[in-house]
Amino acid sequence: MRAVVIGAGGGIGAALAAALAEEENDVVRLTRAELDLTDEPTIAAAAARVGKADLVVVATGLLHDAEHGPEKALRDLDPAWLAQQYAVNAIGPALVAKHFLPILPRTGRSVFAALSARVGSISDNRLGGWYGYRASKAALNQMIRTLAIEDKRRNDRGIVVALHPGTVDTRLSKPFQQSGRDLFQPDRAAVQLLDVLDALKPADSGKLFAWDGAEIAP
């Protein structure tokens, strides 16, 4: 299998690429140096270089930076920060799909997966806060659903899904890790996610799945 990991410079992305390579797959690792989610020409160029693939995983996400973190209240909303979260968490993966879905097989099993989050589930939102991250991941989940419907016309065996990896010990989650909660090391998280992907069927396309294989309601 030829697998493409976008975000291979991050904790989960690097672990996914390593786990796929360990299973003797042909792995293409794309970091931000080769593909910038906020720059469509770099996405198109990367897809053209890759040429063909059986599995594409978008292992990227933005929760905080040096100046911003998740908004705790309405008064914390900042339009530029909201736009940046949408650009990385929703628009970027959609543009990756625009250019990478066409290089997946038109017959037989193919998989396009993007890392999402349980907090993107509208029905599961009981605590509020984290406006930008929640909303941008909810937008990603809707993108995945819509992409899956269209991709089914291209390949009725194709699978397009969103994945919730749980809380993984990476830079993204470091400031928000809580004692008493499950915290996965990246190598374990990668194996769990690949196990979920291996078990998916075409009827699962368009859905959001947690690290343990459980479907998360939108």
Which pLDDT band, with edges at 50, 70 and 90, does 42 fall under? very high
What order of strands is seen across the sheet that includes strand 158-164?
Answer: 26-30, 2-6, 55-58, 110-115, 158-164, 208-210, 215-216
Average pLDDT (94-115) is: 98
- Domains, the chain, ranges and CATH? 2-216 (3.40.50.720)
Q: Where are the beta strands (DSSP E) in the chain?
A: 2-6, 26-30, 55-58, 110-115, 158-164, 208-210, 215-216
Average pLDDT (164-187) is: 82
pTM over 0.85: yes
Question: pLDDT digits over 1-16, tens only?
Answer: 999 999 999 999 999 9
Sequence-separated (6 or more) residues with CB below 8 Å from residue 80 = none
Which pLDDT band, with edges at 50, 70 and 90, does 174 fall under? confident
